[in-house]
């Protein structure tokens, strides 16, 4: 099977027909990888190649779970309910990204949302993944009042589509 064919079959199973592989989508669209590998007669390395080679970032592979990022026809709870954020939220980033962030604000980059942290420690840890961490303080309540929609994940990550530069400060 070529990678293209594997990608098509993966999309079909994860978006439209998980039951073909005896699977049910968990919240977020996740399924365990092992039965999928057996069903497709593929290896984890095959899947990893297809996931990282997907031009539209169609899939997420997280540990032993995989999902399609969008495009489902089977019912799945991918999104969270809008919630009112606290007054301030924080974003940990790294120094090299600052000039661009100051100019255009925070963008979701490869993700669906910009990820924000409820506390400074978490933000510092997120920023430190990429180099010297820099903390941005986001005036979340003000953004919310201006019409920006916020979500919070089960593990406490705050999500928003983008953060315009006028709602953030450094430190």
- Decide if residue 111 touches ligand HQG (CB under 6 A): yes
Contacts of ligand HQG in 140-169 (CB under 6 A): 157
User: Per-residue x/- marks for ligand HQG, 74-103, CB under 6 A?
Assistant: -------------------xx--x--xx--
- Decide if residue 109 touches ligand HQG (CB under 6 A): yes
58 in the Ramachandran plot: left (φ > 0), alpha (ψ -120 to 50) or beta? Answer: alpha
Shortest Cβ 47–ligand HQG spacing (Å) = 18
Torsion, Cα 109 113 116 117, to 10 degrees, reads: -110
DSSP 82-104: B-PPPSEEEEEEEGGGHHHHHHH
- Decide if residue 119 touches ligand HQG (CB under 6 A): no
- Decide if residue 37 touches ligand HQG (CB under 6 A): no
Length of the chain: 171
Comparing CB distances to ligand HQG, the nearer of 11 and 60 is 60
Which tokens go with 57? 């970032």
- The count of other CB atoms within 10 Å of the CB of residue 161 is 14
Comparing CB distances to ligand HQG, the nearer of 8 and 111 is 111
Buried/exposed 24-51: b ≥16 CB within 10 Å, e otherwise = ebeebbbbebeebbeebebeeebbeebb
Comparing CB distances to ligand HQG, the nearer of 81 and 110 is 110
Site residues for ligand HQG per CB under 6 A:
93-94, 97, 100-101, 104, 106-107, 109-111, 115, 126, 130, 157
């Amino acid at each position: 099977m070529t990678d293209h064919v594997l990608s098509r079959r993966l999309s079909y199973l994860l978006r439209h027909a998980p039951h073909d592989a005896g699977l049910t989508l968990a919240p977020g669209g996740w399924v365990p990888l092992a039965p999928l590998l057996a069903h497709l007669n593929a290896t984890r390395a095959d899947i990893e190649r297809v996931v990282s080679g997907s031009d539209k970032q169609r899939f997420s592979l997280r540990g032993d779970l995989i999902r399609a990022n969008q495009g489902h026809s089977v019912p799945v709870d991918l999104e969270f309910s809008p919630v009112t954020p606290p007054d301030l939220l924080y974003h940990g980033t790294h120094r090299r990204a600052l000039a661009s962030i100051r100019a255009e604000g925070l963008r979701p980059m490869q993700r669906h949302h910009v990820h924000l942290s409820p506390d400074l420690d978490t933000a510092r840890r997120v920023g430190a993944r990429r180099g010297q961490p820099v903390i941005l303080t986001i005036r979340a309540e003000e953004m919310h009042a201006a019409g920006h929609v916020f979500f919070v994940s089960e593990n406490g990550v705050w999500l928003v589509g983008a953060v315009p530069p006028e709602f953030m400060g450094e430190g």
